[in-house]
């Protein structure tokens, strides 16, 4: 099964600790819209410090919501040039 995902790659000057904090806030916002249980079950995402990536599975409505909110927060917090977004097909899914 193929999953549609969005990769967010952050520049070397951006703290991945802050990125993870922003991802947490985006998850809370998605939970406010879809409910905690639905986000936990359906919104898969991961953060990779070494590769400076956040990956969000957009194959579900809560996942798309999380990606949209995170994209907006990240752009506003870190700047337009600090993050590069790519849509990818991921045959293995997104690790949680």
Taking only the tens place, the pLDDT of each residue in 21-70 is: 999 999 999 999 999 999 999 999 999 999 999 999 999 999 999 999 99
- Cα–Cα dist 80/8, whole Å: 12
In total, how many domains does the chain have?
1
DSSP classification of residue 13 = T
Question: Which of 80, 88, 44, 91 shows the shortest CA–CA distance to 65?
Answer: 44
**Domain span holding position 65:** 3-90
Q: What is the pLDDT of residue 96?
A: 44
In this structure, the number of other CB atoms found within 10 A of the CB of residue 14 comes to 18
Residue 26 counted as domain residue: yes
Average pLDDT of 75-80?
A: 94
In this structure, the number of other CB atoms found within 10 A of the CB of residue 10 comes to 21
Residue 13 counted as domain residue: yes
Residue 96 counted as domain residue: no
Residue 82 counted as domain residue: yes
């Amino acid at each position: 099964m193929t999953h549609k995902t969005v990769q967010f790659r952050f520049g070397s000057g951006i703290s991945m600790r802050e990125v993870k904090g922003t991802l947490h806030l985006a998850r809370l916002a998605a939970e406010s819209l879809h409910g905690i249980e639905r986000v936990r079950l359906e919104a898969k995402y991961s953060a990779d410090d070494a590769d400076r990536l956040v990956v969000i599975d957009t194959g579900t409505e809560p996942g798309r919501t999380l990606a949209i909110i995170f994209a907006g927060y990240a752009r506003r917090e870190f700047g337009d040039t600090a993050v590069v977004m790519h849509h990818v097909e991921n045959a293995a899914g997104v690790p949680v």
